[in-house]
Structure 1
């Protein structure tokens, strides 16, 4: 007989593969059980509700995203450079893994108290990533003020957590609008570009420009 932990992890593995290939709408308990080669009722032994299983799948997404953040952001680099790298990774992950990305941030549906799981809650995967960004913004402000303009405009700035929430919202919006084709539509037709279509930036450069613009908006330009 397969150990319980092994079967639990296999169900999550199947769910991860399914959401990656077919999107969050495909994550039915029956389909996961079928692909895992177990009875339809087997997932209930480990996940009291459908949403508890979805939360476990979303945990995997956050673990993957956190590992990508760590790999992309050189801990010895200035905070602003780390935020730039993380922003690129965030948007890139959203476009590469749309199904998982859509699932991960549905805290309105996943991991609520009523789901009855004794496993770590989804917030325990989400909050450390948010706190990482808050720490980087806090360090960026301290280094900026020490080097260039100590105390200037400090009272007018929102708390770091509010800045990060706004920055995150902007990055999330970029990812969604790019996935829907909306940003390409407006950027490719913008007359203010002033350059022939053939010489305009490619998709990767466009996305990098957008991430930079978000950081400039919330942190100030690099040479301010």
Structure 2
């Protein structure tokens, strides 16, 4: 692939990321991405033979962004529970800041497709999360406990976006719900 090919491939992904942020998942068509990138509607197929491959490349950017945010959470000096809490908050903030990308990243068809190693991009984040959960709850099955906590966080993110939780619990900050989820899955902080 030439440098100009690489440039156009990246531009198509950039346009997809921008389109996703501004108009959401339904707007992510090959034709619209091509139009906004200023190329023929068939040009994306040169780099991404299927729509799923282009969507996977866009989702990969989301996982890179999430991994970058995770990399900026508290360091090893913080205890494992504090790190789990920071990662959970980072995850919720990401989901709420970029809901279109969040929705795209966790589409089953993309993760199962194997395009661009998307599954392998997402699993290290879960492994980090599960490892920390295991440090907090060494007696528990860390992967299952982390999976349950992650499912809880995913539900909080979705219901918060829909404003259902604010209506149900009367909070305008998700922090109390996050604390409740952490306590439910990890136990009370410092044995309280």
TM-score range, shorter chain: over 0.9
User: 2:28 matched to which residue of 1?
Assistant: 27
Q: Which has the higher helix share?
A: 2
How far did residue 215 of structure 1 move?
1.0
Residues 1:81 and 1:130: Cα distance change in structure 2 (over 3 Å): same
Structure 2 runs not aligned, ≥5 long: none
Cα distance in 1, alignment partners of residues 111 and 50 from structure 2:
10
Residue by residue, what CA displacement relative to the aligned partner does 1:72-130 show, whole Å, maximum 9, x if unpaired? 232321110011111111111111111111111002x21544x8x5xx32101110110
Residue by residue, what CA displacement relative to the aligned partner does 1:111-163 show, whole Å, maximum 9, x if unpaired? 544x8x5xx32101110110010111122235xxxxxxxxxxx3xx3x10000
Structure 1 runs not aligned, ≥5 long: 143-153, 189-200
Structure 1 residues 155-170: aligned runs within 5 Å: 157=140, 159-170=141-152
Cα distance in 1, alignment partners of residues 10 and 52 from structure 2:
16
| Contact preservation (8 Å) 1:52, 1:111 | no
| Contact preservation (8 Å) 1:51, 1:111 | no
User: 2:62 matched to which residue of 1?
Assistant: 61
> Is 1:223 matched up with 2:190?
yes
| Contact preservation (8 Å) 1:58, 1:103 | yes
TM-score, normalised on structure 2? 0.93
* Larger Rg computed on CA atoms: 1
How much is the aligned-residue C-alpha RMSD, in angstroms? 1.6
Residues 1:111 and 1:45: Cα distance change in structure 2 (over 3 Å): farther
Runs of 4+ residues over 6 Å off in structure 1? none
User: 2:79 matched to which residue of 1?
Assistant: 78
Cα distance in 1, alignment partners of residues 111 and 133 from structure 2:
28
Cα distance in 1, alignment partners of residues 150 and 17 from structure 2:
24
TM-score, normalised on structure 1? 0.80
Cα distance in 2, alignment partners of residues 136 and 112 from structure 1:
26
